[in-house]
Structure 1
Amino acid sequence: MEDILQAVERILQNKPLASIQWFVLSQSWLGKTYDEMAEVSGYRNNYIKEVGSELWQDLSVALGKKITKKNLHLALEKYLQEKIGDRENQTQEKLEQESSLEMSRDLSASQIEFPSGPVPLGSPLYINRPPLEELVCNEILHPGCLIRIKAPRKTGKSSLLNRMIAYAREQGYQIVYLDFQEADEDIFASLDKFLRWFCVYVSRQLNLFPSLDDFWDTEMGSKVSCKIYFEAYLLQYIEQSPVVLALNEVHRVFEHPNIAQDFLPMLRFWHEQAKQDQIWQKLRMVVVHTTEIYIPLKLNQSPFNVGITITLPPFTLNQVQKLALAYGLHWAADSEGAKRLVPLQAMVGGHPYLVSLALYHLCHEEITLEVLVESASTQVGIYSQHLRELLSLLQKEPELMLAMEKVIATDEKVELDAIAAYKLESMGLVQLNGNQANVMCELYRFYFSQQLRRSG
């Protein structure tokens, strides 16, 4: 009852309860009727009801929901659970901040590497984005699962994938990691050549000798031959442990419709085979790409409407603050520090790479935060090389430059050609809702507006 009294006084903003109110509250909590309260207290029944009615009214106003004698238990228990949850979250955040501060003390500015590529395992510079990490690690345990990780360049896909792979290794799973950026262009010349390369690559990663000719049958076709090779050879000869097939940079396949329109439905078919065939349950697939597929596929053939989809969101202000602490910027530890980070967050929209680059320069004390934000879109700003690289990519494809010009001309979403929209999304320049696009962050709007004015 002491907890209930304290909870009610907190709800009523520390307004102390009169003894009769405390009596009515405690008796109501114990399930007593107003008649029973009147009998043991000596107060009239109507007075007890009036005190109770006023108390429920005050609680209703304070909580923003109707409180009655009947729902008192439910409402207060829910309030207490929420408060306990808030306290646990605050404690966890405090522990994480203290941990970040402790780890950052061990990392001098000279030890912090320039932001490039995936964040190494165990690095304090990796920021969790709950519940993504827990979600992918739980899902990989499911037989025959298919996980899709989708996000633009330099937003943390590979860092998340590496942590999921590390977790799978801890479970004793075998890992096949295939990055399609490694494939020579002529590998995409035909479906048969592509699938044979694919099977050889997977075989080598599983330490098995490629034995394609024993299973490949031109009469049956490449897709069936590939399936038989996995089913009758790779999945048969490995130990009982599951195999994680992690396919990175899959958007490279999108650029070859002659491959994509057969390879992607094949992955879906394998995923569905796991529902009825135990041997396919050993295979867990992870597909990582930067943009939506722009090759038309039938709904029942696309691997992108089955399994689970992980879309990486930008960093929140709280996550930017945690990363700042990991970089050793101790001034960011409190609410005032968070306020100082707001202009940076507004400029780069929580983009993980752009945030990391800013914090890297700040931790080396090369520039102040205010100057960094003010010069961000200029030729002397810290993002100048990154912005020039994006500009160069756009200049090579005039239709993309025209599409980007439409996007930055307005704050509203604009309709774009599907392929142009997806390519811009892949580069991280826009956010998409269908084919409607808006600019990813104000940094890109300012910079490309300046460039278009100069070229105009």
Structure 2
Amino acid sequence: PLEPVGGAVPLDSPFYVERSTDVEFMRALRSNESILLVKGPRQIGKTSLLGRGAKTAQDLGWRIVRTDFQKLSAAQLGSDDGFYRLLAATLARQLGFRYDFASEWLDVFGANLNLDNFILALIEASDEPLVWLMDEADRLFGNPVASDFFGLVRSWHNSRTMEPSGPWSRFTVVIGYATEAHLFIQDLNQSPFNVGRQLPLPPFNHAQIADLNARYGSPLRSETDIAHLEELVGGQPFLTRRALDVLARGTMSFAEMLEYADEDEGPFGDHLKRILISVSQMPSVVEALRHSLAASGIRDTEGYHRLLAAGVIRPVRNGPAVFSCQLYRRYLGVRLAD
């Protein structure tokens, strides 16, 4: 049976496509590596991969905790101590861990040491490894808490390096994010982003699109049609699944999809409108897009990196960045050409 397209792909879904990053991620997780950095634009599959990582860790008998930073309000990110207390309380609740905050969380230690002591207590509460899955970490970028928090994560990695057989060797942090960290982290040497294992999530390739088409009952009848869909959506996972789902339901023909793909009320309208709103909020992003539309190349600017994070453009070796797919060029070209 077909299933709704959007959000994390269910663990038992027949439509989940495993990529090379999945294999590398699971290998690193099973090896209990220190920091795993799952990077990719929105709707590329980060949350789905993190969910499968959680299932793998659970199957191994390990303890897992999760934090989705997108759920936190701006007020909750306003101070280190309040933010750290919130994190500690949510992690303790997830594990049923009793921690005497009144006697252990002391002002004299300061926010960083208090959270550090708490995480150490959490690790030492069991001999089983502990995995902390952090999703939507971009939510912290630009907030006052970011530098200190990511510096603390880096310190846990350093503690593990200094004492390979100590308790920190049983602790793994998985971070899902989209934006280039160097835009917001003043000193990358005081962050996890230049020591963790980099795990970029790529778009689907031709073989994976063909495989997914078969799982949907082959609504695309020829290799030519599969190639046309790949050109249209560039293998972007959400767009690929949305296209095949629409075709499998018989909502429209493939010829109609190709014609109406870039319409606001078309099969990809919600996704495209969200991207337009996102990129239109910053003049530097709009300028970078116009450079790309004019095929004049995009300089290494904040706008350029935000477009990469959104998945709108992709870098080309020894050449200017290009649109990730025909659909983005068609849709944004009309609306941002002036």
Which residue number corresponds to residue 84 of structure 2? 195
Match of 2:162, SS state, is coil
CA contact (8 A) 1:147 1:308 kept: yes
1:263 correspondence with 2:153: no
Which residue number corresponds to residue 17 of structure 2? 127
CA contact (8 A) 1:212 1:229 kept: no
Runs of 4+ residues deviating >3 angstroms = 394-399
Point out the structure with the larger helix share.
1
Please show how residues 96-175 of structure 1 align to structure 2 within 5 Å: 107=1, 112-130=2-20, 132-143=21-32, 145-175=34-64
**Cα 1:433/1:229, change in 2 over 3 Å:** farther
Which residue number corresponds to residue 233 of structure 2? 348
**Cα 1:432/1:268, change in 2 over 3 Å:** farther
1:283 correspondence with 2:171: yes
Deviation at 1:300, TM superposition (A): 2.6
Alignment equivalent of 2:131, drawn from 223, 244, 249: 244
Match of 2:145, SS state, is helix
Deviation at 1:196, TM superposition (A): 1.6
Letter in 1 for 2:184: I
Structure 2 CA distance for aligned equivalents of residues 184 and 210 of structure 1: 24
Structure 1 CA distance for aligned equivalents of residues 95 and 240 of structure 2: 38
What does the per-residue CA deviation read over 1:363-390, in whole Å, with 9 as the maximum and x for residues that have no partner? 0122222221232123453222322222
Letter in 2 for 1:167: T
1:421 correspondence with 2:309: no
Deviation at 1:405, TM superposition (A): 2.2
* Greater RCO (Cα-Cα under 8 Å, separation 6 or more): 2
What does the per-residue CA deviation read over 1:374-422, in whole Å, with 9 as the maximum and x for residues that have no partner? 3212345322232222223334444433332222221x5411532x333
What does the per-residue CA deviation read over 1:414-448, in whole Å, with 9 as the maximum and x for residues that have no partner? 11532x333333322223589x7432222111111
Match of 1:128, SS state, is coil
Q: Percent identity?
A: 28
1:375 correspondence with 2:260: yes
Please show how residues 18-417 of structure 1 align to structure 2 within 5 Å: 107=1, 112-130=2-20, 132-143=21-32, 145-231=34-120, 233-237=121-125, 239-256=126-143, 258-277=144-163, 278-293=166-181, 294-329=183-218, 332=221, 337-410=222-295, 413-417=297-301
**TM-score normalised per structure 2:** 0.91
Match of 1:245, SS state, is strand
Structure 2 CA distance for aligned equivalents of residues 296 and 247 of structure 1: 17
Letter in 2 for 1:250: A
Letter in 2 for 1:114: P
Match of 1:275, SS state, is helix
Letter in 1 for 2:329: R
CA contact (8 A) 1:416 1:437 kept: no
Deviation at 1:244, TM superposition (A): 0.7
Letter in 2 for 1:384: G
Structure 2 CA distance for aligned equivalents of residues 338 and 223 of structure 1: 56
CA contact (8 A) 2:32 2:172 kept: yes
Structure 2 CA distance for aligned equivalents of residues 449 and 315 of structure 1: 24
**Cα 1:143/1:449, change in 2 over 3 Å:** closer
Which residue number corresponds to residue 313 of structure 2? 430
Letter in 2 for 1:288: G
Query: Please, what is the CA RMSD of the aligned residues?
Result: 2.1
What does the per-residue CA deviation read over 1:240-277, in whole Å, with 9 as the maximum and x for residues that have no partner? 11111000100101131x21111112111102212333
Match of 1:381, SS state, is coil
CA contact (8 A) 1:251 1:289 kept: yes
Match of 1:116, SS state, is coil
Which residue number corresponds to residue 327 of structure 2? 443
Deviation at 1:145, TM superposition (A): 1.8
**Cα 1:185/1:144, change in 2 over 3 Å:** same
CA contact (8 A) 1:195 1:226 kept: yes
Letter in 2 for 1:423: R
What does the per-residue CA deviation read over 1:73-101, in whole Å, with 9 as the maximum and x for residues that have no partner? xxxxxxxxxxxxxxxxxxxxxxxxxxxxx
Structure exhibiting the larger radius of gyration computed from Cα positions: 1
What does the per-residue CA deviation read over 1:311-330, in whole Å, with 9 as the maximum and x for residues that have no partner? 01111111001111111126
CA contact (8 A) 1:248 1:287 kept: yes
Mark the runs of 5 or more structure 1 residues left unpaired by the alignment: 1-106
Structure 1 CA distance for aligned equivalents of residues 219 and 277 of structure 2: 37
CA contact (8 A) 1:216 1:225 kept: yes
Deviation at 1:189, TM superposition (A): 1.1
